[in-house]
Amino acid sequence: MEIPVIRKVLEANSTLAGEVRALFARHGILALNLISSPGAGKTSLLERTLRDLQGEFRMAVIEGDLQTDNDARRVAATGARAVQINTEGGCHLDAAMIRASLDHLDPAGLDILFIENVGNLVCPVEFDCGEDDKIALLSVAEGDDKAEKYPLLFHLASALVLNKLDLLPYVDFDPVRAVHFATRLNRDLAVFEVSCRTGQGLPAWYDWLRARRAAKLAGRAR
């Protein structure tokens, strides 16, 4: 009896995600769903990105956490709009949460929307939030075999941000091995090796954002 219930939940989410995706398309919003383990540096990446590109794009962030608005406050300090979702124990965001959050934003005034999902490499991958792309984050403080252990995210993601490169001298992590596992699952995966502390690798990440935003507008014009 449980299988039909789970199927209905996923089907309902997919239907609503399609509606959210259509809304993003109408407004030309590039929506990116950032997924990682806790502490991989999603918020740090957003802080740098929001500050460095604030004169170029109108950006906002939907923050997903079990408790607190700590990350939303960090995002808001950059000048970007932020909406906090507290899941109260839930392990992922879903399309209904994203749709409700848009009531607190002005879609007509947005170019890029970042969805910072709950720190988890399993549940967030299963639930479509209406995004254009999933972005996988992996820090060098984690195991370099994460893609092999949690393959679905890396298979579905459009980009992998390998973060905290400044820590490489102090940890036992092989970037070549990590990228090998990830790209073996997804040959089209764009890979960015970055340090949010030093700025290393961030220009390439920004160029990818520009290209994805341009592609979104080109698709809207068709």
Domains along the sequence of the chain with CATH: 2-216 (3.40.50.300)
CA atoms within 13 A on the CB side of 133: 24
Tell me what pLDDT residue 216 has: 93
Determine the Cα–Cα distance for residues 14 and 16; give it in Å rounded to an integer: 5
Partners of 191 in beta bridges:
160
pLDDT tens, residue by residue, 153-176? 999 999 999 999 999 999 999 999
Tell me what pLDDT residue 19 has: 97
103 burial (CB, 10 Å; 0-12 / 13-18 / 19+) is exposed
Task: Write the CA distances from 5 to 10, 11, 92, 98, 211, integer angstroms.
Answer: 9, 10, 18, 22, 40
Determine the Cα–Cα distance for residues 52 and 56; give it in Å rounded to an integer: 9
Task: Write the CA distances from 94 to 42, 85, 91, 98, 182, integer angstroms.
Answer: 18, 11, 10, 7, 25
- Amino acid (1-letter code) at residue 179: V
Tell me what pLDDT residue 1 has: 46
Tell me what pLDDT residue 9 has: 73
**DSSP H or E stretch at residue 175:** helix 175-185
- Amino acid (1-letter code) at residue 64: G
**Which residue ranges of the chain lie beneath pLDDT 70?**
1-7, 220-222
Q: Residue 39, by phi and psi: left (phi above 0), alpha (psi -120 to 50) or beta? A: left
Determine the Cα–Cα distance for residues 13 and 25; give it in Å rounded to an integer: 18
Determine the Cα–Cα distance for residues 129 and 32; give it in Å rounded to an integer: 9
Residue with tokens 């709009």: 81
Query: By C-alpha distance, which of 149, 143, 148 is closest to 162?
Result: 143
Query: By C-alpha distance, which of 124, 129, 127, 31 is closest to 137?
Result: 124
Tell me what pLDDT residue 10 has: 80
Tell me what pLDDT residue 222 has: 56
Partners of 136 in beta bridges:
35, 160
